[in-house]
Amino acid sequence: MTLPLVALGMLSTLFLISRAVDPPSTIPFADSEVQERLTNQQVTGPYYTSMSANGDQIAVIAETMTGPTGVGGTNKGKNVDIEMKMASGTNITAYGNDALLDIANDLSRLTGDVRITTSTGYVLLSDELLMRMSAMDVTSPGAVSATTPLGDLQAGAMRFFVPEGKEDGQWVFTNGVKLVHTPDKTKE
């Protein structure tokens, strides 16, 4: 009988001696972030897939994706990866800090430190990348710098596309192309 009374006495002293906790008076979010979340729909970690007419598989993965109010079929993404698995077996990954995906008009636009990496050894850097997903047509309207199996390349513009009836894509560099060829020293 004394043991339950001692336990009750110890428990009551916890409540009498404990300190009052002052919960924070505001939610720890910036006002602009709260307003953006209230006005735009947002998805965290979306994964979107499609297939081109040639059978190339395309996946879009983003940190966040929002649907701007009043603009149907258009989404804005942050930290976006676009993975392309070509029917020929080549894999291409494009990354951008920001993206605008306009599915209704078949146009995607990556901006901000755009980086393209291929399974064939190409690494391309650009400020902007435009892409038609239904036809696997990728364009960089501005300057491109690249590391390729042949050496370092700079160009004023770039286009990657798959010609009709073909599986293999073609890289076309234009507007002042400069290639510094690095011979393969292992063959010497």
pLDDT per position as a tens digit, 60-110: 899 988 876 556 678 888 999 999 898 888 899 999 999 998 878 888 899
User: Which region holds residue 21: left if phi is over 0, alpha if psi is between -120 and 50, else beta?
Assistant: beta
Percent of the residues in the chain that have a pLDDT greater than 90, as a whole number: 35
Q: What is the pLDDT of residues 11-35, one digit of tens each?
A: 777 666 666 555 555 556 666 666 6
Percent of the residues in the chain that have a pLDDT greater than 70, as a whole number: 80
Return the exposure string of 11-22: e unless at least 16 CB atoms fall within 10 Å of the residue's CB, then b: eeeeeeeeeeee
Domains contained in the chain, number = 1
pLDDT tier, 162 (very low <50, low <70, confident <90, very high otherwise): confident
Domain containing residue 42: 31-182
Three-state SS at 32: helix
Does residue 19 sit within a domain? Answer: no
Does residue 3 sit within a domain? Answer: no
Quick check: 168 and 158 in contact, CB under 8 A?
no
Quickly tell me which residue has 């990954």 as its tokens: 93
Between CA 174 and CA 44 the distance in angstroms is 38
Q: What does pTM read for this prediction?
A: 0.72
Length of the chain: 188
Does residue 46 sit within a domain? Answer: yes
